Structure 1
Amino acid sequence: MIILSKYKLVPDEGNGNKRRVKSEGKSICPICLSEALKVIGSRNRRAINSKGENLIIVIRRLKCRSCKKIHHELPDILVPYKRYLSKCIEAILDGQGDRICCENSSIYRTRQWFKGMQAHIKGCLTSTAARMNAKIESGGEPILKAIKAYVGEEPGWLARVVRIVTNTNNWVHTRYAFMA
Structure 2
Amino acid sequence: MPCPCCGELDYKVIGSRIRKGRIETGERNLYSIRRLRCQPCWKIHHELPDLLIPYKRYEAFVIEGCIEGFEPLVLEVDELTTARWISWFSKLVEYWIQIIISLLVQRQLESTLVTVLSDRSLSVLERIGCLTGDAPDWLARLVQPVVNHHFWLHTRFACLS
TM-score bracket relative to the smaller structure? 0.7 to 0.9
The Cα shift of 1:97 comes to 2.9
Letter matched to residue 68 of structure 2: D
1:97-136 residue pairs with structure 2 within 5 A?
Answer: 97-101=71-75, 102-132=77-107, 133-135=109-111, 136=113
Higher strand share: 1
* Stretch moving more, 139-148 or 102-111: 139-148
Count how many residue pairs are aligned between Structure 1 and Structure 2: 152
**Structure 2 unaligned spans of 5+:** none
CA distance in 1, matches of 2:124, 2:155: 23
Identity %: 36
* Stretch moving more, 135-144 or 32-41: 135-144
Structure 2-normalised TM-score? 0.85
Structure showing greater relative contact order (alpha-carbon pairs closer than 8 Å, 6 or more residues apart): 1
CA distance in 2, matches of 1:83, 1:41: 22
Q: Of 64, 73, 81, which residue of structure 1 is paired with 2:38?
A: 64
CA distance in 1, matches of 2:51, 2:89: 17
User: Structure 2 vs 1, CA of residues 177 and 95 (structure 1 numbering), >3 Å: closer, same or farther?
Assistant: farther
1:1-180 residue pairs with structure 2 within 5 A?
Answer: 27-101=1-75, 102-132=77-107, 133-135=109-111, 136=113, 137-138=116-117, 139=119, 140-176=121-157
1:110-134 alpha-carbon deviations (Å, 9 max, x no partner)? 1111111111111111112222321
1:21-49 alpha-carbon deviations (Å, 9 max, x no partner)? xxxxxx43122221111111111111111
User: Structure 2 vs 1, CA of residues 100 and 128 (structure 1 numbering), >3 Å: closer, same or farther?
Assistant: farther
- Do the aligned residues in 2 keep the contact of 1:28 with 1:37 (CA within 8 Å)? no
CA distance in 1, matches of 2:110, 2:155: 30
CA distance in 1, matches of 2:103, 2:140: 16
Structure 1-normalised TM-score? 0.77
- Do the aligned residues in 1 keep the contact of 2:62 with 2:72 (CA within 8 Å)? no
Higher helix share: 2
